[in-house]
């Protein structure tokens, strides 16, 4: 009888640990993924603004904003990939469907 109780406690504590582990990893990766998506939206908006101001007097300022937006996007992408590659995030992240995001932004300014 005591073996059944001990086994049950071990099973439930292990299951709770794994559930908590997956929950924490999902929360962390989802936050980083949202950061990348927000940076993509900002980069697209900066590109549109830069295209609109191409021949206008504020073209230089629009280019600087676009350059900063591109840097922010790349940094957020790098942070997401670093978080995904952490050993304690790798297996749960893979099982929950988190994958590497390809950098589909152009290397140039526009």
pLDDT in tens, 20-45: 999 999 999 999 999 999 999 999 99
pLDDT value for 110:
46
Q: Cα separation of 58 and 63, whole Å?
A: 9
The residue ranking higher by pLDDT, 82 or 102, is 82
Nearest to residue 47, comparing CAs of 72, 66, 64, 60? 66
| SS3 label, residue 107 | coil
Q: Cα separation of 15 and 91, whole Å?
A: 16
Q: Quick check: 106 pLDDT over 80?
A: no
Indicate the pLDDT class of residue 79, thresholds 50, 70 and 90. Answer: very high
């Amino acid at each position: 009888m005591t073996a059944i109780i001990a086994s049950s406690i071990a099973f439930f504590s292990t299951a709770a640990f794994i559930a908590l582990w997956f929950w924490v990893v999902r929360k962390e990766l989802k936050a980083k993924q949202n950061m990348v998506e927000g940076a993509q939206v900002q980069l697209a908006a900066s590109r549109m603004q830069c295209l609109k101001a191409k021949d206008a007097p504020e073209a230089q300022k629009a280019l600087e904003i676009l350059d900063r937006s591109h840097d922010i996007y790349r940094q957020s992408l790098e942070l997401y990939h670093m978080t995904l590659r952490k050993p304690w995030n790798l297996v749960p992240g893979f099982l929950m469907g988190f994958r590497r995001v390809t950098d589909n932004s152009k290397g140039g300014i526009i």
